[in-house]
Amino acid sequence: MVAKVILNPYSARWRAKERFPEAELALKKSGVDFEVAVSEKKGHSVELAEQAVKDGFSPIIAAGGDGTIGDVVHGMAKAVPEGEALPPFGVIPLGTANDLMANLKVSTNLDEVAKTIAAGKTRLMDLCKVNDRYFVNNTAIGLEPVVTVIQEEISWLKGIPRYLYAAVAAIYQGTSWQAELKWDDGEYTGPISLVSIGNGACTGGLFYVTPHADLFDGKLTFTFGYVQSRLRMLGLLPLTMKAGAGNFVEKDEIHEINTTHLSIKLTESSPSHADGEIFNRELYEAKYQIFPARLPILMP
């Protein structure tokens, strides 16, 4: 079978384009037979992935960051009837944070990645969906996507420091929403500062907003909370960077819950992202669901 590699050259502010020749060489050394398709505009990776599945390529490889991964898997899922397994999927990590690779606990070394793709071994990972958008690692409303919107506009900082600066700036804005949440065995109505829904635990390279999320457990893990004081929120920020004990979900204002479904209604709109990409800047209602063991992901 011939692999289709879908490259987003813009990932990591064009560093993906610079590094891709190294990835191509690694694939060739490992004996991978592949073709390359280059995304030329926002959302183009979705179209390329959908067409690649229809054309029978296997595996489908996302070359870029977490946003590229989300776009490619979204396109793949659109090409396959709901409930059926997708073609094998692999990642060439060329992004800033590479959250999915971190959550999978696999190497980002391009030679090792190429060997994994060549070996063809897969593990069935959970796939998630918010409204009509499939996602792999996480999605959110409230504070988190506000951070995403802010960091998109920052050009004078690079890498993880950009996300950290954007987080502080978003907290300074002091945003909050009135929300109605319903999940498998519970509900909440009232003010919220954030709702983050995780398939994986880490996002943005260093934030563990859903620290107990598991890509293979068949559950969505979501956190929500309301923090009225900006100073208190700033105090909680460092705790979101703790992967284990001491994480902010241990505080009274924050709740972490496992579920298979979640619905949210807001009285005022919020931006929303999926795998780090803003897909709706004025979201009022969202429904989240999980498809256990639907994505065969290439792993060592």
User: Where do the structural domains in the chain lie, given as residue ranges?
Assistant: 3-120, 138-293
pLDDT at 206 over 90: no
User: Does 258 or 82 have the greater pLDDT score?
Assistant: 258
Quick one: which of 99, 155, 79 has its CA closest to 275? 99
> Would you say residue 166 has pLDDT above 90?
no
DSSP 102: H
Architecture of domain 3-120: 3-Layer(aba) Sandwich (3.40)
Question: Region 100-123: what's the mean pLDDT?
Answer: 97
The CATH code that applies to domain 138-293 is 2.60.200.40
Percent over 90 (pLDDT), the chain: 83
pLDDT at 164 over 90: no
Rounded mean pLDDT, 259-283 = 96
pLDDT for 46: 97
pTM above 0.75, yes or no: yes
Q: For 71-84, what is each residue's pLDDT tens digit? A: 999 999 999 998 78
User: Which positions ≥6 away from 94 have C-beta within 8 Å?
Assistant: 8, 11, 12, 15, 16, 19, 20, 23, 63, 64, 65, 68
Can you tell me the distance from the alpha carbon of 46 to that of 43, in angstroms, rounded to the nearest whole number? 5
Mean pLDDT, residues 250-278: 96
Query: For residue 1, is pLDDT > 90?
Result: no
Q: How does residue 157 score in pLDDT terms, banded at 50, 70 and 90?
A: confident
Averaged pLDDT, 64-75: 96
Average pLDDT (224-238) is 93
Range with the lowest mean pLDDT among 151-165, 251-265, 271-285? 151-165
pLDDT of residue 2: 97
Can you give the pLDDT at residue 59? Answer: 98
**Mean pLDDT to the nearest integer, 89-95:** 97
pLDDT of residue 30: 98
Per-residue confidence (pLDDT) for residue 167, from 0 to 100: 83
Q: Considering the chain, what is the average pLDDT of its residues?
A: 94
Question: According to DSSP H, which parts of the chain are helical?
Answer: 15-29, 44-54, 66-78, 99-104, 110-119, 143-152, 160-173, 230-236
Q: Which pLDDT belongs to residue 271? A: 96
Q: What is the pLDDT of residue 154?
A: 83
Q: What is the DSSP letter of 282?
A: E
